[in-house]
Amino acid sequence: MKYVNHFHFVALSLVVLTVFSGCSTLPDVSRVIDDTPSERESVRIASAKGLLSPQKSQAIMERLRRSVPPTDILERHNAVLESVTESPLTKGNKVKLLIDGRATYAAMFDAIRHAKANINLETFTIADDEAGRKFSNLLLEKRAEGVEVNLIYDSVGSHATPAAFFQRLRDGGVRLVEFNPVNPLKARGHWSPEHPDHRKLLIVDGRLAITGGINITSNYSIRVSGGRSTTGASLPWRDTDVQVEGPAVAEFQKLFLATWQKQQGAKLDDPSYFPGLKEVGNALVRVVGSTPGQNNRITFTVYVAAITFAERSIHLTNAYLIPDDQILDAFTAAAKRGVDVKIIVPANSDSTIAVDAARYNYSELLKAGVKIYERRNAILHAKTAVIDGVWSTVGSTNLDFWSLLSDDEVNAVILSREFAGEMERVFAADLAASDQIQWEKWKKRPLWQKIKQSFAHLFCHLM
C-alpha cells in the first residue's frame, strides 16, 4: 500500500477547510519562557508513589546535572514544560530504544502476546497488508482469550484500508474508534478532518508503552542498510520508537483514554488500566501530548524551548523539516552561539513536495552555521532529538507546520545520560549514511530548483 501522508490525500480539501475555519496560531514560546520562574525549586518529579518533595526532586536533578557538563536543558526546560502541561516528570522508568520496523514490531508483538488484561493501540495508519493482518490476527487471538482490545485509527491515515478489515476486528470483539471521520455523515459532533490523530502508541496492561514514528504497514518490513541501494529497488523505511516501562506508562494511558473519550468511544473504566506501577529503571521520563488549540501545542513548545536552552549540541533527525519562524530562529541562534547543530533529513520521501519544502529553508540554516545532512537509500521517517548528551525525545511530531499546528501528537522526553548515549550512537550511524549539504555548492543550485522549493514551501504553509 502506498503510504498516505498529509501532502497527497488531503491537500486540496484542507486548503478549503483552512479558508473556511480560520487560521490557527502557534504559541509564542519566548513569552512562555519569560513567564516561567527560573528557580530550581520549580522542577517537581513524580515517583511510583506520588509527587516528590521539592528537596527530593532537586536532589535527583542535582545528581543528573553532575553527570554531564553544564547545561540549561535540564532544569530550565523542565520548568517551562511544567508551566504548559499537567503531565509530570516521572522517575524510575526503564527505556529501550527500538530501531526500525523489525525491532519495533517484534517488541510490539511480544508485548501483545503477553497481555493479560487489556491492549490499547492508537495509530495513524493501519494497512490491510501483511503487517496489518499480522497485527489484526494477533489482536483477535488475544480478544478470544478474554483480553480487552481497544483500537484508535486515524480516518485520514487509514483511508485506503477497506471497511472489511475493520469490520472483521469488530466482529471479533475488538472495540474501535475512527478518529475524526473524513466522511461528514460519520462525524461525531463537529466535523474536523483537518485535525488528524498522528500518534503511534501501544499500551499493554497499563505497564508497558511503545511510541514513536512507526505506523502499521509493510513499508517497514524491508531491512535498512547504509549501503547503496539496488537500482529500481524499493527503499526501506528508517524510523525510531521507544519502549517505556515504569510510572510514565500511566501518563501514556491517560492520553489514550482522553482521546477515546473525546471521540465518543465505548465507556472504558476498568481499574486494570491503571495498575500499581513499580520503579524499574533509572530514566526520568515526561510524556508530552499535543491536541488542537493554541494553548495545547505542547510538543511545539518542547522543541522550541529545548533548542533555545541547548549549550553544546543539538542532534536532530526529522522526516519533514518545514518549521515555523520560531523554530528556524531557535536553530540559527543556537548555531551562532556555538552550539553544534546537526540535522538529518530525508533525501527521499513519500512526499516529493515535502522534500522540496524542507530544502527551501536550507540557505538560512546553512548561512547561520547549521549542518544539514540528507539520509540516502532510505525513507527517513524518524522524529528524534538528543541535546547536550542528556536530553532526548522520541515521538510522532514532525517539524512541519501541519504536525506542529493541527495534529494530535505524542512524544516521550527522556532525561538520561545512558539513553542519550544510545541516541548519539544511532545518530552517528545515520550520519554515516547521509550526505552533507555544503553551502558553497548549495547556493549555486539552478534557478528552477529555487522556484520549485519556493512553491513547495508556500503550498505546505497554506495547508
Summarize pLDDT for 173-213 with one digit per residue, the tens.
999 999 999 887 787 777 777 789 999 999 999 999 999 99
Whether 400 is a known active-site residue: answer no
Catalytic option among 197, 388, 400, 430: 388
> Residues 414-438: pLDDT tens digits?
999 999 999 999 999 999 999 999 9
As a whole number, the mean pLDDT across the chain is 90
Question: 71 with 132, same domain?
Answer: no
Question: 443 with 312, same domain?
Answer: yes
Distance from C-alpha of 379 to C-alpha of 375, rounded to nearest angstrom: 8
Catalytic option among 100, 205, 400, 430: 205
At 38 the pLDDT is: 66
Whether 461 is a known active-site residue: answer no
Backbone angles phi, psi at 112, to 5 degrees: -65, -45
Taking 60 as the threshold, does the pLDDT of residue 127 lie above it?
Answer: yes
At 227 the pLDDT is: 46
Question: 329 with 396, same domain?
Answer: yes
At 461 the pLDDT is: 67
Band of pLDDT at residue 350, cut at 50, 70 and 90: confident
Whether 383 is a known active-site residue: answer yes
At 39 the pLDDT is: 57
Exposed/middle/buried for 94, CB within 10 Å: 0-12, 13-18, 19+? middle
Last residue of a domain, one of 273, 303, 336: 273
For β-strands 118-123 and 45-47, DSSP reports them as unpaired
Whether 154 is a known active-site residue: answer no
243-270 b/e (C-beta count within 10 Å ≥ 16 → b)? bbbbbbbbbbbbbbbebbeebebeeeee
Catalytic option among 6, 91, 195, 200: 200
Band of pLDDT at residue 20, cut at 50, 70 and 90: very low
Q: Which residue has the higher pLDDT, 215 or 2?
A: 215
Query: Is there a contact between 121 and 200 (Cβ–Cβ < 8 Å)?
Result: no
At 23 the pLDDT is: 53
Strand, helix or coil for residue 380: strand
Whether 279 is in a domain gets the answer no
Query: Is there a contact between 126 and 179 (Cβ–Cβ < 8 Å)?
Result: no
Taking 60 as the threshold, does the pLDDT of residue 368 lie above it?
Answer: yes
Question: 261 with 297, same domain?
Answer: no
Catalytic option among 6, 77, 198, 371: 198
> Residues 269-322: pLDDT tens digits?
888 999 999 999 999 999 999 887 667 789 999 999 999 999 999 999 999 999
Question: 196 with 67, same domain?
Answer: no
Question: 27 with 119, same domain?
Answer: no
Return all residues near 153 (Cβ < 8 A) that are at least 6 apart: 122, 123, 124, 125, 126, 161, 166, 176, 177, 178, 179
In terms of residue numbers, what domain contains 345?
6-88+284-462
Question: 73 with 111, same domain?
Answer: no
Whether 267 is a known active-site residue: answer no
At 291 the pLDDT is: 83
Question: 133: domain CATH number?
Answer: 3.30.870.10
Whether 413 is in a domain gets the answer yes
Distance from C-alpha of 181 to C-alpha of 159, rounded to nearest angstrom: 9
Whether 157 is in a domain gets the answer yes
Whether 435 is a known active-site residue: answer no
Last residue of a domain, one of 210, 239, 273: 273
The DSSP code for 160 is T
- The model carries a pTM of 0.93
**Tally of structural domains, the chain:** 2
Question: 29 with 177, same domain?
Answer: no
What is the percentage of the chain residues whose pLDDT exceeds 90?
73
